[in-house]
Amino acid sequence: MNMTPLLSVAAVLSALNIGLLATLLVVWGRNYRRFGTPLTLGFVAFAGVLAVENVVAIGFFISSGMLYAADPAAQTTVVAMRALQFVALGFLTSVTLR
């Protein structure tokens, strides 16, 4: 099934989220190897789990678009949630890289 334009936007946002999470994983992974604190390990786990969630979401957008196809409001909500996640990860990445 072809993705709708809104689900395509959601997939792109998920891919951008994965990029930000990869950046965070590199920084936090490096910090964990250096300092070995439970907090940095928690950050690594958080970023890893959220990255997996975004990969799975892209898979659903591509293969199961019909789950959202009947309801444009659901598609809009999915895009809004992916956008909010992108904004949150953007702030977190910005602060982490300083």
Looking at residue 68, what is its pLDDT?
A: 63
Q: What share of the chain is helix, strand, coil (3-state, %, to 5)?
A: 90, 0, 10
Q: Which domain holds residue 51?
A: 5-97
Look at the chain and report how many structural domains it folds into.
1
Q: Torsion angle of alpha carbons 31, 15, 78, 74, nearest 10°?
A: -160
**DSSP count for the chain of H helices, then E strands:** 4, 0
Looking at residue 79, what is its pLDDT?
A: 95
Model pLDDT for residues 67-87, shown as the tens digit of each residue: 666 688 888 999 999 999 999
Residue 11 makes CB contacts below 8 A (sequence gap 6+) with 3, 57, 58, 61, 62
Model pLDDT for residues 3-29, shown as the tens digit of each residue: 788 989 999 999 999 999 999 999 999
Assess whether pLDDT exceeds 90 at residue 30: yes
Looking at residue 1, what is its pLDDT?
A: 56
